[in-house]
Chains A and B, each alone.
Chain A
Amino acid sequence: MSHFKNVLIYSDYNKHKNTGCIPTVITAEEIALYIEKIPPAPAVVQEALNHARAGDLTKASKSASEDPALRLYLKTLINRPIYGFRNEVSDVAQIFGILGLGASQQTLYNYLLSLLTPKKWELFSLTNHQFYDLQASISKHWEAILVHLKINDKEIQSAISLIPASIIVCEALFAKRKTEVAQLRCVKALDFNTILFRLSGSDLFDLSGEIARKWEMPERISKLIKSASGMDQTLTGQERVLAQWMHLLLFYELSQSAFVSAGLNEFIDFKIEFVQDIYESFAQVVQNT
């Protein structure tokens, strides 16, 4: 009987022996490869962005019109319910005119980000249209927040566009490890951002910042995006204020029913103590938007 057991074990063992080493979770190499694979910003979009940064909306819309995919994106975005237009708006010059300079630049960043969205979301139960809704809603609320804070800065206005990049990065890195992470989260309330940080030393917002750098966005944007995780305790002045509002805005959006259902509410850790003192003002601003 004992001999029989041994044979059985070794035969089963050999089936698995070929695998030898079991793949690990997320390596630094995998992260580097992911960043490396991110395509550069298309020339047409770069050109439109340069014109927008220089304040020339006409040239920006002309450049943007040359890219059919961008044209379609702009048309889809501006006709989302949050913008509230009764009649369809389809002309790029008209769209840019409605949005204004700051929001047009922001929308171009949103488009760049949309290029990274997966064909099929696996980790989060999301569709690309829902993702565009999230982008649009964040952008609209951010605009109102900056008015409230009396900040008139196109780069700061645009920076918010890259915040949802953290969701795309999370989807890309964790989709294949969905089961393992779910098991881990059965016994410990760990968010994806913390798991990634403890495994690799970088968090999702660091990687979003890397994407901004790859797309040659100003260094300030990259820095602002990183601060939105709410993990940097050393921030002071305007940087801290912006980080607080971004962090709370992100959680406000991720608490919407569709995004809770998608599983997005749990993807990063909400630093409630970091935003507690701005909550009252925040509630007033979003209520009036």
Chain B
Amino acid sequence: MRAVVKGRIGIFYLQGFLDGNNAPSFLTIEDVKATEDLNVDMLLVSLKKVIFFNKNGLEVFVKLLSTIRNQKHIIVGFCDYDHAKFNAINTFFKDELNFSLFKTQEIAELFTSSNKGESRTVLLYNEDSSQRSAMAIELFDYGHNPIMAQSKHEFEEKKKASELYYAIIEDTNLGVYGQKVATRVTGNAIIYTISHFLDAEINDTFNLSYHLNSLNVGFRLFIFDAYKVISMNVHALNFFTKLASAAAEYNASICFVGLSFEKTPESFKNDLEDAGLMFFDNMDDILKNKELLEELGAGGGVTAKKSRSLNKALVNELPLFIEATVSTIAMMTNAAATKNSVNIQTLTIPNTQDQYASSIGFYGDIDGLIILVFPKSIAKKACELLIGDPDASEEEVLDSLAEFVNIIGGRAKVLLSSNKHVLDITLPRTYSDIKTLMEIAHDKKGVQVDLTFEGERFIFFLTR
């Protein structure tokens, strides 16, 4: 069994009965390897469709989750359970709850980074006050607005007005929590929260692929919320210096906010400033200063100064990318595709009305960016298989479009691996209108393939 990956979360969906006899059969050696290779911030096991489980059955997954957490410092645990299942798990693992428990996937998602940047108001209660506080701090670090009930009575009272909250968090326990750097998006800036002592471990806890993806998809301002940092050593200094070099390639800015130099050598500040990092005392000094925001690159889809050209390695693999795209769309729409033309040019979209677009980056032996432009009707049809509802909302279609592009990225990765190219894919991004896409892609030269699906034009664009 393989975990299903959505955004930065991998989830195992178990079904039926789970005990010590059958649980090992869910995970082959290849499955374990594939799970270890996943690029996620959170790995969960959904118990929604498990009608029976015992401790031995759960332990097989707990063992895998613990291994992954120790290797990758990510959040691991179980989700999608009712109160009875929550109690059963707590009874089984009373003194050794070294994983997290999230009542639903929606609650789990609040504890991970996303590119959506939505701040959610949530009601929160846990009998254990330290758990309550830990959850509130984490939620706050991810940019949410947690309302913490101090007593069961207060919680029950507040719960009555459920419409005020995006989620009501109960029967949830962070357990031993992953140590990834929290990430949130504010406007066009990405904020990372760092704390305590910064040392070589920052290489493991900072999600570099998320950061690179954010650069690839157009983010240009990155802020490290460092109020809670006590000090850093030379390994952390090196890490931030390298990050600054990567940012320079994209003309991006990296700032530190609230970093105290009481216990960190002042010379580090000079080194970091020399590398191009900036320091501010308060977050509002940046976020409430529109001119500064513009200057730092958070004003919109500012493109990289150093535009990169297509190379032979990428062009050689073009047929594989097209095949991955076309066969995926054919599979999802159950309709045949016809290729019309292939040209090297900047992205040209004759009709910008009623179109969605999406993009996904890839890096490794070769790197680049796939951009797809769909008529809304084709996008909806392609996503119908994933959603199962022809009348899905635009938000649902865009969400599914991201999954859809993820499939294409995954297919391309598999096809290219047969040519001995090892590569990884970034998080997909979707665009509800073409204007936002063009802000990022208007000057990029690439290969444009025009395709037709059921008489409608569909554009595939491969660039770097």
Chain A positions within 8 Å of B, measured between CB atoms, are 2, 5-6, 8-10, 12-13, 15-17, 20-27, 177, 179-180, 182-190, 194-195, 198-199, 248, 251-252, 254-258, 260-261, 265-266, 269-270, 272, 275-276, 279, 283
Query: Cβ of A198 and Cβ of B2 under 8 Å apart?
Result: no
Which of B92-100, B117-125, B181-189, B315-323 has 4 or more CB atoms under 8 Å from chain A? B315-323
Query: Cβ of A183 and Cβ of B339 under 8 Å apart?
Result: no
Query: Cβ of A5 and Cβ of B342 under 8 Å apart?
Result: no
**Chain B, Cβ-Cβ closest to A15:** B319
Residues of A close to B51: CB separation below 8 A? 248, 251, 270, 272, 275-276, 279
Q: How many interface residues does B have (CB within 8 Å)?
A: 58
Question: Could you tell me the distance in whole angstroms from the C-beta of A165 to the nearest C-beta in chain B?
Answer: 20
Determine which of A12, A187, A257, A276 lies in contact with B4 in the assembled complex, contact meaning CB atoms within 8 Å.
Answer: A187
**Chain B, Cβ-Cβ closest to A6:** B344
Complex Cα–Cα for A27 and B24 (A): 37
Complex Cα–Cα for A194 and B384 (A): 12
Determine which of B25, B312, B335, B403 lies in contact with A261 in the assembled complex, contact meaning CB atoms within 8 Å.
Answer: B25
Residues of A close to B15: CB separation below 8 A? 251, 255, 265-266, 269-270
Query: Cβ of A21 and Cβ of B337 under 8 Å apart?
Result: yes
Query: Cβ of B342 and Cβ of A13 under 8 Å apart?
Result: yes
Which of B133-141, B363-371, B405-413 has 4 or more CB atoms under 8 Å from chain A? B405-413
Query: Cβ of A24 and Cβ of B334 under 8 Å apart?
Result: yes
Determine which of A22, A269, A283 lies in contact with B336 in the assembled complex, contact meaning CB atoms within 8 Å.
Answer: A22
Query: Cβ of B315 and Cβ of A183 under 8 Å apart?
Result: no
Query: Cβ of B48 and Cβ of A272 under 8 Å apart?
Result: yes
Known contacts A9-B315, A188-B4; is-contact A183 B16 (Cβ 8 Å):
no
Complex Cα–Cα for A17 and B340 (A): 10
Query: Cβ of A183 and Cβ of B328 under 8 Å apart?
Result: yes
12 A-B residue contacts at CB 8 Å? A5-B312, A5-B344, A6-B344, A16-B319, A198-B388, A199-B334, A251-B51, A260-B26, A266-B15, A272-B48, A276-B51, A279-B51
Question: Could you tell me the distance in whole angstroms from the C-beta of A166 to the nearest C-beta in chain B?
Answer: 15
Complex Cα–Cα for A283 and B4 (A): 30
Determine which of B4, B342, B406 lies in contact with A189 in the assembled complex, contact meaning CB atoms within 8 Å.
Answer: B4
Known contacts A180-B331, A183-B328, A183-B411; is-contact A2 B344 (Cβ 8 Å):
yes
Known contacts A22-B337, A183-B328, A252-B16; is-contact A198 B22 (Cβ 8 Å):
no
Chain B positions within 8 Å of A, measured between CB atoms, are 1-2, 4-6, 11, 13, 15-18, 21-22, 24-26, 28, 46, 48-52, 310, 312, 315-316, 318-319, 322-323, 326-328, 330-339, 342, 344, 384-386, 388, 403-404, 406-407, 410-411, 414, 447
Query: Cβ of A21 and Cβ of B385 under 8 Å apart?
Result: no
Determine which of A23, A252, A257 lies in contact with B21 in the assembled complex, contact meaning CB atoms within 8 Å.
Answer: A257
Known contacts A21-B338, A179-B414; is-contact A270 B49 (Cβ 8 Å):
yes
**Chain B, Cβ-Cβ closest to A2:** B344
Determine which of A187, A198, A265, A276 lies in contact with B16 in the assembled complex, contact meaning CB atoms within 8 Å.
Answer: A265
Query: Cβ of B328 and Cβ of A20 under 8 Å apart?
Result: no
Known contacts A9-B447, A260-B25; is-contact A270 B342 (Cβ 8 Å):
no
Residues of A close to B386: CB separation below 8 A? 187-188, 190
